[in-house]
Amino acid sequence: QVQLVESGGGSVQAGGSLRLSCATSGYTYSSYCMGWFRQAPGKEREGVASIDRDSRTAYADSVKDRFTISRDIPKNTLYLQMNNLKPEDTAMYYCAANRVGPACSRSDDYHFWGQGTQVTVSS
């Protein structure tokens, strides 16, 4: 059983920073990809960042150069460092594991999800 638990969300003013953490079970990093997604009310879920088994990373254009995905394998923890936050970053953020295949951008291939952590950015 793969379990993921996010933490680190909160309220911050524009320009501020947050670091999200995702504590996972010991089997999570055998996944093809780990990723962060976000969803605002009434909006479609979107991929934010992913990291694959070769430590290759990918980012949505909207967060590139501001967000950094990383992992601490001994601690079984995935991170998302978010800098220079903007109001449009406001959303529920989820971490997820893809054990299906190497297409890290395909949300349908992520079958294990955390409960989410809320990020609110005010102007």
The model's pLDDT over 59-92, given as tens digits with 9 standing for 90+, comes to: 999 999 999 999 998 888 999 999 999 999 999 9
* Residue 47: Cβ within 10 Å count: 19
At position 122, the amino acid (one-letter code) is S
Q: What is the pLDDT of residue 26?
A: 63
Low-confidence ranges of the chain (pLDDT < 50): none
List strand residue ranges (DSSP E) for the chain, in order. Answer: 4-7, 10-13, 18-24, 33-39, 46-52, 57-59, 67-72, 77-82, 91-98, 110-113, 117-122
